[in-house]
């Protein structure tokens, strides 16, 4: 890899990595509906508030979400709607994987 390619790949990986966690994917998916605050997300996910806050700061540092304060409450929102289309692509891979498994297991061929 040239320096340029390395830099580019690292940048892309950093963003992907930020989303690559069950709780964070869930957050991105939820924020597509509307903004939510930390405690709402923590409640929905079922993990500690502090852990949720850390997840949100990872997404924020990656430039994936934005935050707005209202009193002591911080609302997070999606910064880039295209992220949803791309989840569609991931779903596509999942569907392909399921089909393949079915084929290997002979489901639908008996």
Partner DNA sequence: AGCTAATATGGCAATATAGCCATATATGAG
Partner DNA sequence: CTCATATATGGCTATATTGCCATATTAGCT
From 33, 69, 81, 93, residue interacting with DNA (rule: CB under 7 A): 69
Nearer to its own copies, 12 or 54 (CB): 12
Q: How many residues bind DNA (CB under 7 A)?
A: 26
Q: Minimum distance between the CB of residue 20 and DNA, rounded to whole angstroms?
A: 7
Convert 15-69 into a string of H (helix), E (strand) and C (coil).
Answer: HHHHHCCHHHHHHHHHHHHCCEEHHHHHHHHCCCHHHHHHHHHHHHHCCCEEEEE
Q: Is 30 in the site for DNA (CB under 7 A)?
A: no
């Amino acid at each position: 890899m040239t320096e340029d390619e390395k830099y580019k790949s690292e940048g892309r990986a950093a963003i992907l990595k930020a989303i690559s966690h069950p709780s964070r994917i869930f957050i991105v998916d939820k924020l597509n509906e509307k903004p939510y605050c930390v405690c709402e997300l923590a409640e929905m996910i079922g993990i500690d508030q502090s852990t949720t806050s850390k997840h949100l700061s990872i997404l924020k540092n990656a430039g994936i979400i934005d935050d707005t304060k209202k009193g002591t409450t911080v609302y997070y929102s999606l910064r880039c709607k295209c992220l949803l289309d791309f989840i569609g692509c991931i779903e596509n891979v999942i569907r392909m994987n399921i089909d393949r498994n079915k084929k290997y297991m002979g489901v639908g061929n008996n």
